[in-house]
Amino acid sequence: MNNSITILSPGTVANMVCGFDVLGFALYDPCDEMELRLLPERRVVIQPDPVYQLPTEPEKNVAGAALLALLDAVEGPVGFDLTIRKHIKPGSGIGSSAASAAGAVVAANHLLGNRFSNEELVQFAMFGEKVASGVKHADNIAPCIYGGITLIRSIHPLDIVALPAPDLHVSIVHPQIEVRTADARAILKQNILLKDAIKQWGNIAGLVAGILQNDLALIGRSLQDHIIEPVRSILIPGFDELKQRCLAAGALGGGISGSGPSVFMLSATETTAQQVAAEMAAVFTRLGIDFHTYVTRINQQGVILKSENPT
């Protein structure tokens, strides 16, 4: 029995352009580092974050809400004390809230002897996503817990399909502007044209087929969004120019990561991914907007166990 554990909980890219709320993949970089300690009583303690002013009341904190949901499924005098060292900025569009919620329940499950399945952990962590955005969505949570690429076939009932992720390289730029998930959802159209829906279904099916067949050309052709991106891209300065320059540099394709403002691009090689990141940097340098870039790969593992401390 271990009384504390330290894990690395990865950033994630949700939607994968055409797969709004149903597709996502995990990253190797950036990751939050989280330490969870067992308590001998039924309560959840959230330690203050030294950088971000995040709520310490468990029910208002995404990780706390997820742990409270897990505790409802556990009997006996047990609780948790959580410290998060966040490296994924809230509001970045690369799964900051999901990393906190998913990392917390994966760590708790380790300390409790791995009694819950991955699907059950996703269900607990979705309570955290509801705190963050008002909606229980799993397209960031699932890849964070399962690793690789996941398809959320259904939320009610929850049905997650883990896909065999190709070994692709990922370039990400995070302009230092904030796009709140709730705001990015609020601007979306509630009704869409049938012709746009048909195009979108074809792209989602093509993207999943490309992933299953490791067909990079098909993946690239399918990374198109006719419904969400045209609306949300207005929130990201320089988006159209950035996308054009990245494709010209050899990226397979990409788009807005989650609700933004981060933008991701997939590439077949690290060399191309580095060139794509340079194009991303050039766009925001010209615009005078501070930014961070990452060149990483699809994380096949998800949350990574860093250390356990025995009682």
Catalytic positions? 129, 181
d(CA 255, CA 243): 7
CA angle, residues 75, 80, 83, in degrees to nearest 5: 160
- Residue 143 CA, chain-centre distance (Å), reads 7
Tell me, what DSSP letter sits at residue 234? G
What does residue 114 show for φ and ψ, rounded to 5 degrees? 55, 50
Among candidate residues 308, 302, 309, 265, the one with its CA nearest the CA of residue 98: 302
- Residue 49 CA, chain-centre distance (Å), reads 20
CA distances from 11 to 18, 190, 206, 219 (A): 19, 28, 25, 21
CB atoms under 10 Å from CB of 217, counted, come to 9
Non-local (6+) Cβ contacts of 11 within 8 A are 26, 27, 29, 30, 31, 88, 92, 94, 95, 96, 99
> Under DSSP, is residue 170 helix (H, G, I), strand (E, B) or coil?
strand
